[in-house]
Structure 1
C-alpha cells in the first residue's frame, strides 16, 4: 500500500520540478503594456520614454547604461498578465531613477534579459515561468537641451 503512494509522490515531484523550471521567452507589444490603465496612472508623464533608436530631442547630459531587473509572482496568472505587470514595475524603476537624477527622459531603452540586449521600438522581452516572470531593461537617463 505504501509503494503506490511513494511512486505517486515521486511522479508528482518529477513533474513539479519540470514545471517550476519553465522559462518561456515572450516578445510582447510595448504599446499594449504602455497603454494599460495601471501604466497610464503610474507613469505620470514627468519622464518621457524612448525605445531603441526612437528619435528624441538633443541631449545635454547623460547617464548611460542604467539597468533594472524586476521579477514578479506569476503564480495563477497568465504569462501575458505577469509580463505586463513586471514590465510596468521595470518602467516605474526607470522613471524613479530619472526623477532622482533630475532628468527629462530615458532614451535608448532596450530589453536586457540575462544581459542580452534586444532593441525594439515595438516589443519588449519577458521570461515567464510557473512561479516568476521577469523583465530587465537598460536605458540612458538624459536631460534635453532647453
Structure 2
C-alpha cells in the first residue's frame, strides 16, 4: 500500500513537471526597444511603426515572422523580449535587403490571431520555449 501511494505521488509530480505551459503576455514595446539588447541588435536606420502605417511605397505587404527562443533559465519577460527583438530584426533585415527604410503596420500575429497595439506586443511563454509572431509591411 505504501509503495502504491509513493508511486502515484511520483507519477503526479512527473506529470505536473512535464505539463505544457502557454502563458500569454502583453508586454511593452518601448521597454523592449529601449533595452540594452535592442541597442546592440536593432538597426536604427529602419523605422518601426506599430499598429499604424507610414507614408511611402509599399514594397511588401503582410509579411510574417515567427520567432522562438529558449526560455530555460530566463524570466518570461526576458525570453519574450528576446523573441520580440529577433522578430523585429528579421523585418529590419528584410527592409534593408529591399532598399526600404520603414517597417509599418506591425501587429502581433500569434497563431494567425491579430493583436494590434501601438504600445504592447503579444508573447506566448512556455516552460522551455517562448515565441513572438509579427505581421507587417515593408515601405520605402
SS at match of 1:92: helix
1:24 equivalent to 2:23? Answer yes
1:65 equivalent to 2:65? Answer no
5 Å-filtered alignment, 1:15-94, equals 15-18=16-19, 21-53=20-52, 56=54, 58-94=55-91
Aligned residues: 139
Structure 1 distance, partners of 2:78, 2:5, is 38
1:105 equivalent to 2:105? Answer no
Structure 2 distance, partners of 1:43, 1:65, is 21
Match of 1:117 in 2: 114
Q: Which moved more, 1:23-32 or 1:2-11?
A: 2-11
Structure 2: 5+ residue stretches without partners: none
Match of 1:12 in 2: 13
SS at match of 1:83: helix
Question: Offset at 1:61?
Answer: 3.5
Structure 2 distance, partners of 1:100, 1:67, is 16
Question: Offset at 1:8?
Answer: 4.2
Structure 1: 5+ residue stretches without partners: none
Structure 1 distance, partners of 2:58, 2:133, is 24
SS at match of 2:57: strand
SS at match of 1:120: coil
Judge conservation of contact 2:43–2:89 (CA < 8 Å) in 1: no
